[in-house]
Amino acid sequence: MANRISTYTMTSRDGDSQNGEPKRNLWTSMLESVASGKRLPEKNLLVMGGTPESQREFLESLSGSEPKRNFDRQKIPPIANNYALGYTYYDVLDADQDDTLARVSLYLLSQPSGEFASLVAPLLTPETIPNTALVILLDWSQPHLWLRQIWTWLQVFQEVLEHLSRDVQTEMEDVMNAWKERGRGSSSVNLDGTPSATVANGDSDGSLPLGPGEWTEPLGLPLCVVCQNSQKIDFLEKSKGWKEPDFDAVLQNLRTVLLRHGASLIYTSQSTTSQLPILIHSTLGITSLLKRQPLKHNVIDRDKIVVPPNWDSWGKIRVLGGSFDTEKVSQYWSEDIKLPLGAAPPSMAFPDPEDDDENGSNQLPQIESAIALYEEWCRDPNSGGLAVVESAMNDGSEIAIESEDTQEFLERQLKILDAYKSKAPEKATDSPLSSSTRKLEFNDEKTVNEHIGPVQFNMGGIQVDADDMLQRLKDRNAHIATDSPSAEPEAAVGNIAKDFDNEQLHDFFSGLMNRTAGDRS
């Protein structure tokens, strides 16, 4: 293109000069003007936390918020975030989908290791700092670990700051000083960095002063915490026993902690749209040229929470009610983040019942830590626990009990049975049948007799019940035996009944069967 220069232009400029210098080529000037107009503003997002899958969902929520043209869909860049520091990017389109407002580069970390600090530090330069924001991803499947995860990622970011030069740190301080005034009351700067209407009207800057607990621990970059999969809130309520005060307490802890860093907070769901693109793009200073979309706070809908930066305060947090101590949690969090790099996060150790003192009390040690205080209150929902609050524990009963593993239980029972068998002596009996077998056979015989009914036969035209006749004979012999004083009653009855059964009955019934016709007459 540079070689295709108009003949007229060359002819008209041959030998011409201005102040002794040759005039600039007209086509070169036009091409440079077009190129500068097409140069996209570069914005950066440092995304920490989540899994590679949840990071992809975060990217889709940002880049897929507005429908794109068909040929643009084919140009969606791939995402590489399975190892170490991942990377991808997307273009932010204007409301008419024709103009590209900016290109956002995402640098992704899913493992909280300080070893990656040397990879992140080169990304932060005096030129990129004003166009960079920090994002921490959390998930509603692990609300009991949220404060610990935030603390862990802030530790990683502190490791990154150790690798930065003094010029970069000075630029970060300037950015934080400017951020403290963005969107605050009648500030001269909006949340997206554009001048507010007060400046356009010539009004003075009337921004509100900082409240207690606000911006006491600036990070050097604007921070946004994204709690993904808020649709799981219903599951926690229906299956894990969580109640409305529990969700409010989680929100109060998050807002109090993030207030110290001037951070924003948002809950997102896969099933519903959210203000995530508006929040992130306004944080990066990306503003639509055609349609301005204001960011609206929301602390009412528990699954659509939005807390913009420079909006929250202790008074607004206390409105949720309960016995939440905002000042104590804020102070404890300041102690947590002062821990040296590489230190283990504090935790609330549960006492051992065997370690009771002389008075029999078993008190928990007092730890000045917001993480320990939060985790002592909030149990793991996946292990059948629930938030320990008065509203959930008034009846004194537990919602669920942890069951022992089936294989471990059976293995323990097998050992008990083997030990019992090895100690039990084997009892030899003279009879081939044990007493239990005899008892079983007697019961079976009794059952059979009850089933077939009494044994009857015809004797001389008279129907005789054999069982009844046998019982009468036994009663008669027993009566005779009692008349003899020298004989034992029970022994006499047994012997007479035995002799009668075996001999007399046999002869009696044999005679009846062998009688001739003459005898019957």
Alpha carbon 331 to its chain centroid, in Å, reads 27
Which burial class, exposed, middle or buried, applies to 156 when counting CB atoms under 10 A from its CB (0-12, 13-18, 19+)? Answer: buried
The residue type found at 238 is K
What confidence score (pLDDT) does residue 96 get? 74
Is the Cβ–Cβ distance between 329 and 373 less than 8 Å?
yes
Give me the residues paired with residue 352 across strands: none
Helix (H) or strand (E) holding 133: strand 132-139
Q: How far, in Å, CA of 289 to CA of 138, rounded?
A: 32
Contact 57, 228 (CB under 8 A): yes
Cα 56 from chain centre:
18
129 touches 172 (CB < 8 A) = yes
Q: Is 50 left (phi over 0), alpha (psi -120 to 50) or beta?
A: left
- Distance between CA atoms of 452 and 384, rounded to whole angstroms? 59
pLDDT of residue 9: 40
Gyration radius of the chain's alpha carbons = 45
Domain regions of the chain by residue span: 36-195+210-336, 455-513
Nearest to 169 by CA among 121, 224, 237: 121
- Report how far residue 312's alpha carbon sits from residue 320's, in angstroms, rounded to the nearest whole number: 13
The DSSP output letter for 380 is: -
Closest by alpha carbon to 183, among 192, 173, 174, 171?
192
Residue carrying structure tokens 């530090």: 121
Question: Is the CB of residue 138 less than 8 Å from the CB of residue 146?
Answer: yes
pTM for this entry:
0.65
State the pLDDT at residue 377.
87
CATH architecture of 36-195+210-336: 3-Layer(aba) Sandwich (3.40)
Residue-wise pLDDT for 276-320, tens only, equals: 999 999 999 998 877 788 889 999 999 999 999 999 999 999 999
Helix, strand, coil: what percent of the chain each, to 5? 45, 10, 40
**pLDDT computed for residue 133 by the predictor:** 96
pLDDT in tens, the chain (521 residues): 444 444 434 444 444 445 555 555 777 776 766 555 557 889 999 999 999 999 999 999 888 644 444 444 445 678 888 888 999 999 988 877 778 889 999 999 998 888 899 999 999 999 999 999 999 999 999 999 999 999 999 999 999 999 999 999 999 999 999 998 887 766 667 777 777 665 545 555 556 788 899 999 999 999 999 999 999 999 999 888 888 999 999 999 999 999 999 999 999 998 888 999 999 999 999 988 777 888 899 999 999 999 999 999 999 999 998 889 999 999 999 999 988 877 877 776 544 444 444 444 445 456 789 999 998 888 655 554 444 433 343 443 444 456 677 888 888 888 888 888 887 665 544 444 455 544 545 555 555 556 556 666 666 667 767 777 778 878 877 877 676 555 454 554 455 545 555 567 777 777 776 665 555 44
Q: What local confidence, expressed as pLDDT, does residue 398 receive?
A: 44
| 8 A C-beta contact, residue 265 and residue 147 | no
Closest CA to 48 of 79, 83, 92, 85: 85
Strand 456-459 to strand 462-465: parallel, antiparallel, or no bridges (unpaired)? antiparallel
Span 372-406, pLDDT tens digits: 999 888 865 555 444 443 334 344 344 445 667 78
CB-CB contact of 377 with 385 (8 Å): no
Instruction: Provide the total of helices (H) and of strands (E) in the chain, helices listed first.
Output: 21, 11
Question: For residues 368-404, b (16+ Cβ closer than 10 Å) or e, as one string?
Answer: ebbbbbbbbbbbebeebbbbebeeeeeeeeeeeeeee
What is the DSSP secondary structure assignment for residue 18, as one 8-state letter? Answer: E
Per the DSSP assignment, residues forming a β-bridge with 42 are: 103
